[in-house]
Structure 1
Amino acid sequence: MADRERASIGTKSAWQLDLGATPLPDGSTRFRVWAPRARKIAVAMPGRGRASVPLSSEGNGYFSGIVADTVEGDLYRYLLDDTIERPDPASRFQPEGVHGPSQVVAPDRYQWHDREWCGIPQEQYVMYELHVGVFSPDGTFGGIIPRLDYLCDLGITALELMPVAQFPGSRNWGYDGTFSFAPQNSYGGPLELKRLVDACHVRGLAVILDVVYNHLGPEGNYLHAFAPYFTDRYHTPWGDAINFDGPDSDPVRHHFISNALYWVSEYHIDALRLDAIHGIYDFSARHILQELTEAVHCQAAALGRRVHVIAESDLNDVRVITPPAQGGFGLDAQWNDDFHHALRALLTGDRNGYYADFGPFSCLVKAYREGFVLNGTYSTFRRRHHGSSCADRPPSQLVVCAQNHDQVGNRMRGERLQEYLTLAQLKLAAATVLLSPYLPLLFMGEEYAEPARFPYFVSHDDADLVEAVRMGRQREFAAFNQPGEIPDPQAEETFLAARLNPALHRQGDHADLFGFYRHLIQLRKDLAPLARLDRNSMEIVEYGEQQVLAVRRSYHGDQVLCLLNFSAERQNVHLPGKQPAWRIALDSTTSADAHTPRIRIDNADDTVIISLAPYAVLVCRKE
Structure 2
Amino acid sequence: MRADVWAPFAAHVACRTGGQDLPLVRAEDGWWRGPALANGQDYAFVVDGNGPFPDPRSPRQPHGVHGPSQAFDASAFAWSDSAWSGRDARGAVFYELHVGTFTPRGTLDAAAADLTRLAAVGIEVVELMPIAPMPGERGWGYDGVSLFAVYEQYGGPAALQRFVDAAHGLGIAVALDVVYNHFGPDGNYVAAFGPYLTSAHHTPWGDAINLDQPHSDEVRRFFADNALRWFRDFHVDVLRLDAVHALKDTSARHFLAQLSDEVTALATELGRPLSLVAESDLNEPSMVLPTDQGGLGQTAQWADDVHHAVRAYLTGDSTGYYGDFGSIETLNKAFQHVFVHDGGWSSFRGAAWGTPVPDSLDRRKFVVFASNHDQVGNRAIGDRPSTLLSPGAHATSLALVLLSPFTPLLFQGEEYGETRPFLFFSHHDEPLGTAVSEGRVAEFARHGWPPNVPIPDPQAEATFRASVIDPSGGSASIRAWVRDVMATRPLTLAPDAWERHPVSVTEKAPRQLTMTGPVRIHANLSAEPVAFEGRPLAVFGDVAIAGEGFTLQPDAVALVRA
TM (norm. structure 1) is 0.86
CA contact (8 A) 1:353 1:479 kept: no
Distance in 2 (alpha carbons) for counterparts of 1:108 and 1:97: 23
> Who is 1:35 aligned against?
7
Task: Write out aligned runs for 1:418-437 (5 A).
Answer: 418-437=386-405
Q: Contact between 1:31 and 1:66, CA under 8 Å: does it hold in 2?
A: yes
Name 1:119's counterpart in structure 2.
86
Which of 403, 410, 425 aligns to 1:457? It is: 425
Q: Point out where structure 2 has 5 or more consecutive residues left out of the alignment.
A: none
Once the two structures are TM-superposed, the CA of residue 446 in structure 1 deviates from its matched residue by 1.4
Amino acid at match of 1:177: G
Supply the AA of the counterpart residue of 2:371: Q
Which is worse superposed, 153-162 or 480-489? Answer: 480-489
The offset of 1:388, in angstroms, is: 1.3
Matches within 5 A, 1:318-337: 318-337=285-304
Q: 1:138-537 counterparts in 2 under 5 A?
A: 138-392=105-359, 393-461=361-429, 463-478=430-445, 480-483=447-450, 484-505=453-474, 510-525=475-490, 527=491, 534=498, 537=501
d(CA) in 2 for partners of 1:544 and 1:519? 24
Q: Which amino acid aligns with 2:179?
A: V
Shift of 1:55: 1.5
**CA–CA distance in structure 2, aligned partners of residues 533 and 110 of structure 1:** 43
Q: CA deviation at 1:72?
A: 1.2
Is the CA contact (8 Å cut-off) linking 1:217 and 1:239 kept in structure 2? Answer: no
1:529–1:548 distance in 2 versus 1, CA, 3 Å: farther
Q: Secondary structure at the match of 1:494?
A: helix
Q: Which residue of 2 aligns with 1:107?
A: 74
Corresponding residue for residue 53 of structure 1: 22
Aligned to 1:563: 522
Query: Aligned pair 1:611/2:551, yes or no?
Result: yes
Structure 2 residue 551 is matched with structure 1 residue 583: no
Residue type of the alignment partner of 2:478: L
Contact 2:542–2:553 (Cα < 8 Å) also in 1: no
| Aligned-residue offset at 1:71 | 2.3
- In structure 2, what is the Cα distance between the partners aligned to 1:231 and 1:83? 22
- Distance, in Å, in 1 between the alignment partners of 2:27 and 2:266 is 27
Task: Letter of the 2:468 partner, please give it.
Answer: R
Separation in 1, partners of 2:11, 2:341: 51
Alpha-carbon contact 2:108-2:159 (below 8 Å) kept = yes
Q: Distance in 1 between matches of 2:495 and 2:141?
A: 33
1:458-510 CA-partner distances (Å, limit 9, x unpaired): 1111x2222332243234334532322221111111111111111115xxxx1
The C-alpha deviation readout for 1:208-249, integer Å capped at 9, x for no partner, is 000001001000000000000001122222343211111111
How far off is 1:547 after superposition? Answer: 3.8
* Equivalent residues of 1:571, 1:611 under 8 A apart: yes
2:90 counterpart SS class = helix
Distance 1:238 1:544, change over 3 A: farther
Give, in whole Å, the separation in 2 of the partners of 1:97 and 1:172. 14
| Change in 2 beyond 3 A, CA 1:36/1:85 | same
May I ask how many residue pairs the two structures share in their alignment? 559
Distance in 1 (CA, whole Å) between partners of 2:525 and 2:404 is 15
User: How much has 1:169 moved relative to structure 2?
Assistant: 1.1
Distance 1:435 1:298 in 2: 33
Q: CA deviation at 1:313?
A: 1.2
Instruction: Report what 1:62 is aligned to.
Output: 31
Whole-angstrom CA distance in 2 between matches of 1:612 and 1:338: 29
1:92-139 Cα shifts (integer Å, max 9, x gaps): 000011001000101211100000112112234101101000111111
Identical-residue share of aligned pairs (%): 44
Structure 1 residues 533 and 248 mapped into 2: Cα distance closer, same or farther (>3 Å)? Answer: farther
* Secondary structure of 1:561's aligned partner: strand
Mapped partners of 1:472, 1:102: distance in 2: 32
Go from structure 1 to structure 2 and tell me whether the alpha carbon gap of 1:36 and 1:568 turns closer, same or farther (over 3 Å shift): farther
DSSP-derived class of the 2:114 partner: helix
What is the SS of the residue equivalent to 2:295?
coil
Q: Distance in 1 between matches of 2:501 and 2:201?
A: 44
In structure 2, relative to structure 1, the CA distance for the partners of 1:479 and 1:83 (3 Å cut) is closer
- Tell me the distance in 2 between the aligned counterparts of 1:375 and 1:153: 38
Give me the whole-angstrom Cα distance separating, in 2, the residues matched to 1:469 and 1:530.
48
Q: How far is the alpha carbon of 1:423 from its aligned partner? A: 1.3
Conserved? CA contact 2:328–2:507, under 8 Å: no
Decide whether the 8 Å contact of 2:41 with 2:71 is kept in 1.
Answer: yes
Write the distance in 1 (CA, Å) between the matches of 2:552 and 2:85. 44
Does the 8 Å contact 1:142/1:195 carry over to 2? yes
- Using the alignment, how far apart are the partners of 1:258 and 1:173 within structure 2? 24
User: Are the equivalent residues in 2 in contact too, given 1:431–1:617 (CA < 8 A)?
Assistant: no
Contact 1:77/1:88 (<8 A) preserved = yes
Q: What do residues 325-351 of structure 1 show as CA deviations (whole Å, max 9, x unaligned)?
A: 332111010000111111111111111
Amino acid at match of 1:178: V
User: Partner of 2:292: helix, strand, or coil?
Assistant: helix
Q: CA deviation at 1:617?
A: 2.3
Partner residue in 1 for 2:507:
543
| Contact 1:132 1:144 (C-alpha < 8 Å) held by counterparts | yes
Given residue 219 of structure 1, which amino acid in structure 2 is its aligned partner? D
Contact 2:91 2:406 in 1 (8 A): no
Structure 2 residue 557 is matched with structure 1 residue 620? no
Query: Residue 210 of structure 1 aligns to a residue in which SS?
Result: strand
Describe the SS at the equivalent of 2:232: helix
Structure 1 residues 341, 307: CA separation in 2 closer, same or farther (over 3 Å shift)? same
Partner Cα separation in structure 2 for residue 535 and residue 101 of structure 1: 57
What is the rounded CA distance, in whole Å, between the counterparts of 2:424 and 2:559 in structure 1? 37
Distance in structure 2 (CA, Å) of the matches to 1:541 and 1:457:
37
- Look up the SS of the partner of 1:515 in the other structure: helix
SS of equivalent to 2:239: strand
Q: 1:467 and 1:528 mapped to 2: Cα distance? A: 49
SS at match of 1:170: coil
Contact map agreement 1:316 1:387 (CA 8 A) in 2: yes
Question: Which deviates more, 387-396 or 232-241?
Answer: 232-241
**Equivalent AA in structure 2 for residue 562 of structure 1:** I
CA contact (8 A) 1:352 1:480 kept: no
Give, in whole Å, the separation in 2 of the partners of 1:387 and 1:458: 34
Q: CA deviation at 1:78?
A: 0.7
Q: CA deviation at 1:77?
A: 0.3
**Residues 16-63 of structure 1: per-residue CA shift (max 9 Å, x gap):** xxxxxx2xxxxxxx2221111311211111xx34x3222111132111
Out of 225-234 and 75-84, give the one that drifted further: 75-84
